[in-house]
A and B are shown apart, each in its own frame.
Chain A
């Protein structure tokens, strides 16, 4: 018996062992699990960068060639559109978002929506609300949640929004102000300092979270860092 036949038999033994699981019923994994898996994929992506940079795959040349054609085509389309609309808008990435800069505002879009929940499955809340703030309004739909708190004495408000990524496309007033990149725990996001308020938006892997408050940047950032999953 040759080595290759024995190898084939060995593989068959393993394929037989696991064949019974091929038609397993669908399981709904927990939100926490899927979130942890995303972190794991990020680690993998980081650790395999060297593979992406080296042309080790058989079809890498082919992909590069196709990609070059795509680049040329995309460049041509973008130049044409820019000429057509007089360069009215600029697109770039900031704080984990694609940003569409208009003359008086900037619209944010998530970069990657694949595999993210299409409906709200976990609810986030602010766990370290400052003293004096009470719930003012709470509304929830299948794709977003809006929660507002108010301090009656000082008239200050705090707003937390949670939105599924595929539905997110908020406009920020950037005519007099400028968006900045900012870290909210381990997530990169954007911050916008207004006249007497501060707003933050970040992609936590599953949802887009936004916190805005007419409080200082530091307090608003601490509030954002305190968001935790309330319920599944």
Chain B
């Protein structure tokens, strides 16, 4: 009797953190998806898909610090919503299937000299969204190439290509700054 009563309390103590996370953020996740989709059912589908993915493979989500959890879910939600929008418009996601030779890249590959912070911020903002997301998920949140590809619904070779393009964009940015100076 006592054991069963304690079990109930223990269940309450081990409250589902994903549910809490959902309750705290569902309003703004809805708004993120609504920016790209106008059908409430589609938006709800996107949110379900995001959370189902987390539920099925919780390791990535679980390993992130709290602040990164919301950034990660924001990016995935936005990306899924744009994918669904493209699908509705019969305009499939861009695929880059060519096999790209890839040498391991870390975030240090994107460190940009001594440029002023506001210039860099502008530079990062101006990067194409998928390219920026690839750097964010792979280099900052430490997702593997495969995980990054899966979350962004692109191929692994596309992820490699986006990383290479990102690095090229950095060197072009530095070159332009040197020329300006």
Q: Which residues of B contact A7 (CB under 8 A)?
A: 107, 140
Known: A36-B48, A91-B4. A6 touches B120 (CB 8 A): yes
Q: Which of B8, B15, B55 contacts A111 (CB 8 A)?
A: B8
The answer, yes or no, to whether B62 is at the interface (CB within 8 Å) is yes
The answer, yes or no, to whether A75 is at the interface (CB within 8 Å) is yes
Question: Which residue of chain A lies nearest to B15 when distances are taken between CB atoms in the complex?
Answer: A114
Known: A3-B107, A9-B121, A29-B26. A14 touches B136 (CB 8 A): yes
Per the 8 Å Cβ criterion, residues 1-52 of B in contact with A are: 1-2, 4-16, 18-19, 22-23, 26-32, 35, 40-41, 44, 47-48, 51-52
Question: Which residue of chain A lies nearest to B12 when distances are taken between CB atoms in the complex?
Answer: A112
Contact A1 B27 (CB under 8 A): no
CB distance from B120 to the nearest CB of A (A): 5
Q: Which of B23, B55, B107, B121 contacts A13 (CB 8 A)?
A: B121
Q: Which residues of B contact A91 (CB under 8 A)?
A: 1, 4-5
Contact B71 A9 (CB under 8 A): no
Contact B44 A30 (CB under 8 A): yes
Question: Which residue of chain A lies nearest to B75 when distances are taken between CB atoms in the complex?
Answer: A14
> In the bound complex, how far is the Cα of B7 from the Cα of A21, in angstroms?
39
The answer, yes or no, to whether A232 is at the interface (CB within 8 Å) is no
The answer, yes or no, to whether A48 is at the interface (CB within 8 Å) is yes
> In the bound complex, how far is the Cα of B117 from the Cα of A75, in angstroms?
59
Contact A1 B32 (CB under 8 A): no
Count of A-B contacts with CB under 8 A? 143
Q: Which of A1, A27, A48, A75 contacts B114 (CB 8 A)?
A: A1
> In the bound complex, how far is the Cα of B47 from the Cα of A104, in angstroms?
48
Contact code string A7-36 (vs B, CB < 8 Å = 1, else 0): 101111111111001101111011011001
> In the bound complex, how far is the Cα of B44 from the Cα of A32, in angstroms?
10
CB distance from A155 to the nearest CB of B (A): 40
The answer, yes or no, to whether A142 is at the interface (CB within 8 Å) is no
The answer, yes or no, to whether B125 is at the interface (CB within 8 Å) is yes
The answer, yes or no, to whether B178 is at the interface (CB within 8 Å) is no
Contact B40 A3 (CB under 8 A): no
Contact B120 A47 (CB under 8 A): no
Contact A2 B111 (CB under 8 A): yes
Q: Which residues of A contact B4 (CB under 8 A)?
A: 91-93
> In the bound complex, how far is the Cα of B11 from the Cα of A91, in angstroms?
16
Q: Which of A1, A78, A98 contacts B111 (CB 8 A)?
A: A1
Contact A13 B28 (CB under 8 A): no
Contact B132 A13 (CB under 8 A): yes
> In the bound complex, how far is the Cα of B67 from the Cα of A17, in angstroms?
15
Q: Which of A10, A24, A93 contacts B31 (CB 8 A)?
A: A24
The answer, yes or no, to whether A67 is at the interface (CB within 8 Å) is yes
The answer, yes or no, to whether A83 is at the interface (CB within 8 Å) is no
Question: Which residue of chain B lies nearest to A49 when distances are taken between CB atoms in the complex?
Answer: B14
Q: Which residues of B contact A114 (CB under 8 A)?
A: 15
**Could you jot down 14 A-B contacts, CB within 8 Å?**
A9-B117, A10-B124, A11-B67, A13-B121, A14-B71, A29-B26, A32-B44, A33-B44, A44-B51, A44-B55, A44-B58, A63-B13, A74-B5, A78-B2
Q: Which residues of A contact B (CB under 8 A)?
A: 1-3, 5-7, 9-18, 21-22, 24-27, 29-30, 32-33, 36-37, 40-41, 43-45, 47-48, 51-52, 63, 67, 70-71, 74-75, 78, 90-93, 98, 111-112, 114-115
Q: Which residues of B contact A (CB under 8 A)?
A: 1-2, 4-16, 18-19, 22-23, 26-32, 35, 40-41, 44, 47-48, 51-52, 54-56, 58, 62, 67, 71, 74-75, 78, 107-108, 110-115, 117, 120-121, 124-125, 132, 135-136, 140
- Beyond the given A18-B28, A40-B52, please list 19 additional residue pairs across the A-B interface where CB-CB is below 8 A: A1-B113, A2-B111, A7-B107, A9-B117, A9-B121, A14-B74, A14-B75, A24-B30, A25-B27, A29-B26, A33-B47, A37-B22, A41-B51, A43-B55, A47-B58, A78-B5, A91-B5, A92-B1, A92-B4
